[in-house]
Amino acid sequence: MMPAIMKQGKWAPWLYLLPALLIMALFIAFPTFNTVVLSFMDRTSTQSAAVDCVQGQPCWGIFENYRYALTNSIMLNALSNNALWLILMVPGTVSAGLLFAVLAERVRYEKIAKSIIFMPMAISFIGAGIIWQFMYSITSGGGQQTGLLNAIIVGLGGQPVAFMSTYPINDFCLMIVGVWLWTGFCMTILAAAIKNLPSEVLEAAQVDGATGWQTFWKVMVPLVMPTIVVVTTTMTINVLKVFDIVFVMTGGNYGTEVIANRMFQLIVTDTGRSTAIAALLIVLMIPVMIFNIRRFQKQEEMR
Amino acid sequence: MNPLRTLNRIFHALPINLALIIMCVLWIVPTLGLFVTSFRDREAVRTTGWWTIFTPQPVVGETEYTTYCASCHGAKGNALPQANLSDPAIVNKYQRDYQLLAYLKQPINGQPHVQNPALPGNPNQSLPILGKILVYMQKLSSGGAKGPSLTLSNYVDALVGYKGTNSYLQDCASGNTAALLGLNCTASDLTSPAGMGIAMLNSIIVTVPVTLLVITLAAFAAYAFAWLDFKGRQWLFAILVGLQIVPLQMALVPISRLYSAVGMQSTFLGIWLFHVGFGLPYAIYLMRNFIGSLPKEIFESAYLDGANHWKSFTTLALPLSVPAVASLGIYQFLWVWNDFLVAKIFLTSHPVLTVQITNLIDPRGSNWNILTGAAFLSFIIPMVVFFAFQRFFVRGMLAGSVKG
């Protein structure tokens, strides 16, 4: 960072910063601390969470809301689903995005192809949920299947599947929507990184007789690895926060619950549990936060 | 060029093209399905798949007409000038199959109305045949076989928030006020509380001020971070990097408690401030990276010419960062436009588009046609913005993930 070169009043910087800092303090910093405080209180935020303890049953005292967040069966379902989303969707979007970025670069219709993959980013997650619910829909009672997937299944001689209410198929169906939405994001960022690679390196690999496959794995992937890491961390955050898709498609029913939806469902009825789940969410994100700050500091040193 | 080599190259490129095209088709089909459906009427949506509009459907009554009538009236119905079946004035006299049957039983010019071959004598058998012939004759008289009928009624129904089982325009035409549920068939229906019309207005009222506010506040802060010296600048900015990741779920409960304490629940001011708060960390970060990369010399020479910071901010930094402002603006606009969670909690009495769509969902799934219209109404503005300014949007996204 360059030093300032102009004279300035002592308070000038703060005049520029103050409006933004005030709003961020009020809407991000204060609520974050407040949420942690509220998570130790009961459902109406009036007394300690310990009052919810029932005699003869397990009790974590003031951490009672965290007992719910970590041991309740529906929360266990949510936690395991978020883990599944992480395990499948993050690699799914990143590798699909990388594949498409690499392949699209070699054809003349690159722009159109990329726009098609990227287009879902323009629409709301709610809209995407509607689009896919229509794909997955089932007609019961013998009528013609109006959902494309069930029409194909029936056309091939199978029985129609209730995609949204059959566990665990519904979980995978929701993740497909996530992949459909986010692959464009990963592709765009990875494509920009690939375009920035020095062409001499790739040419040198070819001159040395490397096959396309070898060039990809041994040269390209290591070179864009920093970007792959960035995309992976961003996707991790997005997946931990996943909410709209689940809310609109299954409402978290039939075994598809996720953390953010549980938090939302409890906002009105139980602020204690709701804030405990929110606190759990940010605890899960702290490693990414630290990682990002470290990365930023390294970059600043190189400037 | 050697033709063999060209051929060879085409075959080498084949798997790549195939993979790309398959992926593109997979990506576009779901949206296409919803788009096509949004133009089909309720009955068609309920009974057949959207893809059937691309496959030729058997024309109802064509075989029956050809068998019984075409030998005299001709394939197009106009072979007999005195009984021209392509004339709507003649065909519309017979709306029902039994009317046509009664007519056929009457003699024509003293002669029986010939059918070749003869229709079954039993009306139970002949009426279904005549019903189909009638449909075909109506088609002939309205200018030949038409394609599948497409309609805009789903969009109209979604705009006004129609909840009946027919369609808004039909119910208005027939004066079926019971099914209209408070809609009164005037222009005021466009802003009826359950419709997408008012929701679009609400979305605009939410999104535009947020975008402008975020850009303005971020520009000020970014200038300070880039070109002003103050204590703690480095670690304040590092905190900002961390704040980008704080999930907005952290603020939902505290801020709704705060808003109900000060009477700001469900106000536009409340949602503006919330969105601005969570938009700022990324916005400042993006703007600071851009403003900070402007050449130092221009600021120095401005200083030598007597400019102060305010002047160099307004006359140098701001005009030069138009590309960054555009990227940030598009990014922020789409983000807020597509938000559901914040609007659902902080703007309950003024539903935005995403919230209104979920209000329209019928748990029995009987109004898919209206939902498809509603969904595309909510897509229009972001799609236009996206395709018109895709370059800027991508840049806004990249600024945070690659350089940063």
Give the ipTM: 0.92
Distance CA B5, CA B3 (A): 5
Cα–Cα dist B213/B215, whole Å? 5
**Are the Cβ atoms of B385 and A240 closer than 8 angstroms?**
no
- Given pLDDT bands bounded at 50, 70 and 90, which one contains residue B136? confident
Residue A1 has what pLDDT?
40
Kindly state the average pLDDT of the residues A26-46: 93
Nearest-Cα residue of chain B relative to residue A107: B17
Q: Note the Cα B400 to chain centre separation in Å.
A: 29
Q: What is the mean pLDDT of residues A114-124?
A: 93
How close does chain A come to B146, measured CA to CA in Å?
23
- Which chain B residue's Cα is nearest to A249? B358
Residues B301 and B167 in one domain: no
Domain boundary among B74, B109, B141: B141
Domain co-membership, B177 together with B246 = no
Q: How confident is the model at residue B92 (pLDDT cuts 50, 70, 90)?
A: confident
Question: Does any domain span residue B148?
Answer: no
Choose the mutation target among A100, A124, A245, A273 for the interface with B, i.e. most B CBs under 10 Å: A124
Contact assessment for residue B347 and residue B206, using Cβ atoms and an 8 Å cutoff: yes
Region of residue A293 (phi > 0: left; psi between -120 and 50: alpha; otherwise: beta)? alpha
> Is A86 exposed, middle or buried (CB count within 10 Å of its CB: 0-12, 13-18, 19+)?
middle
Angle, to 10 degrees, between the axis of helix B153-160 and the axis of helix B368-388?
90
Q: Which of B138, B135, B100 is nearest to B119 (CA)?
A: B100
Identify which has the larger pLDDT, B273 or B400.
B273
Question: What share of chain A has pLDDT > 90, as a percent?
Answer: 67
B382 falls within a domain? yes
Size of interface A-B (CB pairs under 8 A): 295
For residue B132, tell me if it sits in a domain.
yes
Taking only the tens place, the pLDDT of each residue in A249-294 is: 999 999 999 999 999 999 999 999 999 999 999 999 999 999 988 9
Residue of A263 and B102 predicted with greater confidence: A263
**Chain mean pLDDT for chain A:** 90
Considering CB atoms only, which of B33, B379, B390 is closest to A127?
A: B379
Within 8 A by CB and 6+ apart from A108, the residues are none
Asked if the structure places residue B182 within a domain, the reply is: yes
CB contact under 8 A, B241 and A132: no
B116 lies in the same domain as B202: no
Nearest chain A CA: its distance from B66 CA (Å): 29
A-chain residue closest to B331, CA distance: A122
* The pLDDT of residue B404 is above 50: no
In a domain, B42, yes or no: yes
| B267 and B229 co-located in one domain | yes
Q: Is residue B147 part of a domain?
A: no
Say what the alpha-carbon torsion angle A255, A258, A259, A264 is, to the nearest 10 degrees.
-100
Q: Do A41 and A47 meet the contact criterion of CB atoms below 8 Å apart? A: yes
Residues of chain B contacting A231 with CB distance shorter than 8 Å: 401
Identify all chain B residues contacting A297, using CB atoms and an 8 Å cutoff: 238
Chain B residues lying within 8 Å of A5, measured CB to CB: 227, 296, 299-300, 303
Check residue B114 and give its pLDDT.
73
Q: According to the model, what pLDDT value does residue B400 have?
A: 63
Question: How confident is the model over B384-390, as a mean pLDDT?
Answer: 88
Same domain, B314 and B366: yes
Is B128 domain-assigned?
yes
Q: How far apart are CA A18 and CA B217, in angstroms?
A: 9
3-state secondary structure of B10: helix
Structural domains of chain A, ranges and CATH numbers in brackets: 89-254 (1.10.3720.10)
Chain A nearest-CA residue for B344? A264
- Interface touch B277/A296, C-beta < 8 Å: no
B116 and B233 together in one domain? no
> Same domain for B263 and B337?
yes
Whether B106 is in a domain gets the answer yes
Cβ pair B368:A30 closer than 8 A: no
pLDDT at position B57, please?
67
Q: Smallest Cβ distance to A296: which of B37, B402, B404?
A: B404
Q: How many Å apart are CA B370 and CA B362, to the nearest integer? A: 10
Q: Which of A7, A16, A37, A293 is best to mutate for the B interface (most B CBs within 10 A)?
A: A16
Do B309 and A5 touch, CB atoms closer than 8 A?
Answer: no
Closest CA to B88 of B78, B98, B101: B78
| Cβ-contact B356, B332 below 8 angstroms | no
The domain in which residue B12 lies consists of: 3-54
Q: In angstroms, what separates the C-alpha of A98 from chain B's closest C-alpha?
A: 12
Q: At what angle do helices B268-292 and B322-337 cross, to 10 degrees?
A: 150
Which residues on chain B are in Cβ contact (under 8 Å) with A17? 220-221, 224-225
Does B274 share its domain with B360? yes
Q: Poorest-confidence range of A22-31, B51-60, B382-391?
A: B51-60
A67 compared with B99, residue with greater pLDDT: A67
How many helices and strands (H and E) does chain A possess? Answer: 14, 0
Query: Measuring CA to CA, which residue among A50, A56, A184 is closest to residue A114?
Result: A184
The verdict on whether omega for the bond into residue B88 sits within 30 degrees of 0, i.e. cis, is no
B157-177 burial: b if 16+ Cβ within 10 Å, else e = bbbbbbbbebbbbebbeeeee
Are A145 and B358 a contacting pair, CB within 8 Å? no
* Average pLDDT estimate for B330-351: 94
- Identify whether residues B72 and B45 lie together within a single domain: no
**Cβ of residue A142 closer than 8 Å to a chain B Cβ:** no
Q: What is the pLDDT of residue A180?
A: 97
Question: Is B47 found in the same domain as B75?
Answer: no
Average pLDDT value for residue range A26-36 = 95
Name which of A26, A104, A123 is nearest B338 (Cβ-Cβ): A123
What's chain B's average pLDDT?
Answer: 86
Per-residue tokens: B161: 């928030």
Contact B270, B252 (CB under 8 A): no
Strand partners, A48: A41
Q: Do B244 and A292 touch (CB under 8 A)?
A: yes
| A167-171 mean pLDDT | 92
Helix, strand, or coil (residue B107):
strand
Q: What is the pLDDT of residues A127-160, one digit of tens each?
A: 999 999 999 999 887 778 889 999 999 999 999 9
What pLDDT is stored for residue B329 in this prediction?
92
Shared domain check, B172 and B202: no
Residue B5 CB: number of other CB atoms within 10 A?
Answer: 9
Q: Are residues B45 and B74 in the same domain?
A: no
* A215 vs B401, residue with greater confidence: A215
Please compute the mean of the pLDDT values over residues B375-394 and round it to a whole number.
Answer: 89
**Spatial separation of the C-alpha atoms in residues B183 and B161, rounded to whole Å:** 9
Domain boundary among B36, B54, B72: B54
Structural domain count, chain B = 4
Type of residue found at B327: S
Q: Which residue of B has its CA nearest to A25?
A: B277
Cβ-nearest to B245 among A134, A147, A289 = A289
